[in-house]
Amino acid sequence: MGKISHNHSFVLLALLLQFNSCSSQTQPAAKTSSKNQVNMNNNEIPVSEEEWKKKLSPEQYYILREKGTERAFTGKFYLTMDEGVYKCAGCGTELFTSDMKFASHCGWPSFDKEIKGGKIKTHVDKSHGMIRTEIICAKCGGHLGHLFDDGPTETGLRYCVNSLSLEFVPEKN
């Protein structure tokens, strides 16, 4: 086994710190009502996986249907601060508005609340040796990201969302 160079050590440390700050939080305590919890297969629009594969890009399919995650700091909406509405890339349901978005510096778009009306459901995610709260689109069951209780605003929440699970519709001036 070879030696790890100083540069490689720095990169490994940076990756570990990023993963820890954005992924290893436990689920929010009692801020998510049990009525919003749902099984991913329990959605309002019956679309077969074959239909999803035709509708979505391979990357979107991986995120929305296979519960994947895009690499941190690479998503097209990570730094977007334009005014408008963020919709589910799977079914077009409006999920967030730009005034709900904040700069979390964790590598993914972050929002402090969702559009009212039960458009986002939660699910306990015990994958990767962690306990987190997964957020999914209530209409199509698509995986959006995770919900953490470390947000800096009055809600105390951080909806950490994959850009590939979203579509952005800019506000018309």
Range from 26-30, 60-64, 72-76, 139-143 carrying the lowest mean pLDDT: 26-30
Gyration radius of the chain over CA positions: 17
pLDDT value of residue 169: 97
CA angle 102, 106, 107 (to 5 degrees): 95
Comparing CA positions, the residue from 170, 166, 57 lying closest to residue 111 is: 166
160 is catalytic: yes
Per-residue pLDDT reduced to its tens digit, 139-169: 999 999 999 999 999 999 999 999 999 999 9
- Which range has highest mean pLDDT (16-25, 36-45, 101-110)? 101-110
In this predicted structure, the answer to whether residue 96 has a pLDDT above a threshold of 50 is: yes
Average pLDDT over residues 79-107: 96
Instruction: Show me where the domains of the chain are located.
Output: 6-170
Q: Which CATH superfamily is domain 6-170 in?
A: Peptide methionine sulfoxide reductase. (2.170.150.20)
Catalytic residue among 22, 91, 106, 160: 160
**pLDDT for the residue 22:** 52
Q: Distance (Å, rounded) from C-alpha 129 to C-alpha 48?
A: 30
Given a cut of 60, whether residue 120 has pLDDT beyond it is yes
Give which of 28, 45, 18 is closest to 125, Cα–Cα. Answer: 28
Report the pLDDT value the prediction gives residue 2, as an integer from 0 to 100. 52
Identify the pLDDT of residue 142.
97
Phi and psi for 51 in degrees, rounded to 5?
-65, -40
> Tens of pLDDT along 23-48?
444 444 334 333 343 334 456 788 89
Q: What is the mean pLDDT of residues 73-95?
A: 96
**Buried b / exposed e along 21-43 (16+ C-beta atoms within 10 A):** bbbebebbeeebeeebebeeeeb
